[in-house]
Amino acid sequence: MRKKDLYKWLSVLVVIAILSSPTVESSLEDRSSPAEQDTLVNEPAVEDLNITDMTFSDDEPREDQNVTITITVENKGTEEQRNLSLILINIDQIISLKEVSLAPGNNSFPFFWQAEGGNQNITALLVRGTPDMEDISDFRSEDIVDTFSVDIWVEPESMGDIYTPLLALGLIIVVLFGSALIPSIWRAISDRGGHKRRKF
């Protein structure tokens, strides 16, 4: 074999050995296209998406009243975020679910709730994906982006005006009692007057 051919084969073997080294293989596997790198860099962090407010159309609602609850979500990033859902929960019952997309800045979403009497805990959840409306445990805890809760008192439904009937009943009792009592009092007074006259 000529010396020139020997050098050629040695060069090929050296290149193969270098390419086969673990360091080079790892470096090649970690390479990605510019588009893929941009996707990874531009994906927003969870802290970029926050529920910032929950307001009620009536802060002192009554039972069975239709109330509008407005949820405000802030997107601190620079791109619109999709594949998200807002869930409104009262204690452990899902009131409503909406698939949402979040433009940069503040985003407001109205929900409609028929108020239930007593102390209520209204919670809004921002989650990734679209969980099952019927099962609150359908989504994983790691899918929850943010939560926001408000306690609100709902005046129970009135039993009606019971004071007027009670007052009327009281007056009837007084009249009947008085009708029975007055003659007895008058008779006692008359008898006392008669005794006094006989004494003189």
Mean per-residue pLDDT for 11-31? 50
Residues 141 and 99 in one domain: yes
Q: Which residue has the tokens 């108020």?
A: 115
Residues 76 and 173 in one domain: no
Residues 149 and 197 in one domain: no
The C-alpha atoms of residue 147 and residue 156 are separated, in whole angstroms, by 27
Look at residue 75 and tell me if it is in a domain. Answer: yes
State the pLDDT at residue 28: 43
pLDDT in tens, 48-83: 999 999 999 999 999 999 999 999 999 999 999 999
Residues 138 and 182 in one domain: no
Alpha helix locations (H) across the chain? 3-19, 22-29, 34-42, 163-199
Residues 61 and 83 in one domain: yes
More confident residue, 159 or 1: 159
Distances (CA, A) of 143 to 18, 36, 75, 82, 129: 43, 23, 17, 14, 8
Q: What percent of the chain has pLDDT over 90?
A: 45
Distances (CA, A) of 114 to 45, 62, 68, 97, 154: 35, 9, 9, 15, 11
More confident residue, 93 or 115: 115
More confident residue, 156 or 186: 156
* Total domains in the fold of the chain: 3
The backbone torsions φ and ψ at residue 157, rounded to the nearest 5 degrees and listed phi first, read -65, 135
Q: Look up the domain containing 12 and give its range.
A: 3-31
State the pLDDT at residue 192: 65
Look at residue 38 and tell me if it is in a domain. Answer: no
Residues 61 and 93 in one domain: yes
State the pLDDT at residue 172: 80
Distances (CA, A) of 93 to 11, 96, 120, 124, 169: 72, 9, 11, 12, 44
- Full strand arrangement of the beta sheet holding 81-90: 93-102, 81-90, 118-128, 144-154
Residues 104 and 70 in one domain: yes
CATH of the domain at 58: 2.60.40.10
Cβ atoms of residues 136 and 94 within 8 Å? yes
The residues, ordered by sequence, that sit 6+ positions from 70 with a Cβ below 8 Å of its Cβ are 53, 54, 55, 57, 108, 109, 110, 111
State the pLDDT at residue 36: 45
Residues 105 and 192 in one domain: no
Look at residue 36 and tell me if it is in a domain. Answer: no
Query: Mean pLDDT score of the chain, rounded to an integer?
Result: 76
More confident residue, 46 or 39: 46
State the pLDDT at residue 45: 57
> Is the pTM above the cut of 0.75?
no
Look at residue 50 and tell me if it is in a domain. Answer: yes
Look at residue 40 and tell me if it is in a domain. Answer: no
Residues 198 and 103 in one domain: no
Q: Does 135 score more than 70 pLDDT?
A: no
Cβ atoms of residues 129 and 85 within 8 Å? yes
